[in-house]
Amino acid sequence: MSNVYDLAHKLKRAIMNSDEYKNYKEKKKIVYSNEGNKKIVEDYRRQVLELQMKQLSEQKIEEEELEKIRNLEEILRHNPSINEFLIAEYRFSQLIQDISKIIGEAIDIDLGMGKQL
């Protein structure tokens, strides 16, 4: 049987050679090469993270905060390079989530469900 570390390195190479990863890296390079697009994406991420932190700490989220995020998402959808980047990022993220789920199942970890070992 192969060394677990060798298999982990093979998985790393497989991920890096995947279409999802290559497309994500290409679209990210395009978006981040434009300072205005980079700023919009980073601002969007910051606002979403702040909203998620509020949710996790069970703070009340105002409708205007949600509306602000929705408006920013609408702006992002109308920018082709940002929209393509976010789609590519989502697809790559889905790949990583699927891999994590497979590994979690193999070692009997219930990710996100609060199950204790």
To the question of domain 4-106 being in CATH 1.20.1500.10, the answer is yes
Angle formed by the axes of helices 35-56 and 80-106, nearest 10°: 40
Q: For the whole prediction, is pTM greater than 0.75? A: yes
Domain ranges of the chain: 4-106
Mean pLDDT by 10 residues, the chain (117 residues): 87 98 98 96 93 91 90 93 96 97 81 51
